[in-house]
Amino acid sequence: MRHTILAVALVLALLSSCVHSEEEKAKTPRTPRQVSEVTGIWRTLHQNTLELRQKGTYVLITSVSKALAGEFSLEQDHITFFNDDVCGGPSGTYRIQVASEQKLLLSEPDDPCTLRRTQLTADPFVYAS
């Protein structure tokens, strides 16, 4: 009886550690491999809204300017925003990481457009379901 209880306790401990590690893995930011991994509506604490569409277009809505609408491309661990109606011609490139449709992080900006750079990097974006 004692061995059975120990065996059950050991199995439960192993199972809970597997679940915990899978949960942690889902929360760890990683590089997206395809556009579908970042497609959707993302919001920040300050209510900036970033909609990334499957066809490579985006809309960034902020409280400090009119909406920015343009195109984006995803390559390796970078996302590039371009052809928007506020910043004009210059493109902006950012390092991108996602955590299982829960969080989108844009960092290391190379973007001459101060408005776009500030609004995309001020806070992490959270997936809006």
**Which tens digit of pLDDT belongs to each residue from 77-93?**
999 999 998 888 889 99
Query: Quick one: 24 and 77 in the same domain?
Result: no
The pLDDT of 51-73, averaged and rounded, is 94
Q: How many CB atoms lie within 10 A of CB 98?
A: 19
Output the pLDDT for position 1. 61
The whole-model pTM stands at 0.75
The pLDDT of 61-67, averaged and rounded, is 90
Query: Quick one: 25 and 81 in the same domain?
Result: no
Q: Is the pLDDT of residue 22 over 90?
A: no
Q: Is 46 left (phi over 0), alpha (psi -120 to 50) or beta?
A: alpha
Output the pLDDT for position 19. 45
Q: Count how many domains the chain has.
A: 2
Give the range with max mean pLDDT: 14-18, 33-37, 44-48: 44-48
User: Which range marks the domain in which residue 108 is found?
Assistant: 31-127
Digit-coded pLDDT (tens) for 65-79: 889 999 999 998 999
How does the average pLDDT of the chain come out, rounded?
82
Query: Quick one: 121 and 63 in the same domain?
Result: yes
Q: How far apart are CA 95 and CA 73, in angstroms?
A: 12
Query: Quick one: 16 and 72 in the same domain?
Result: no
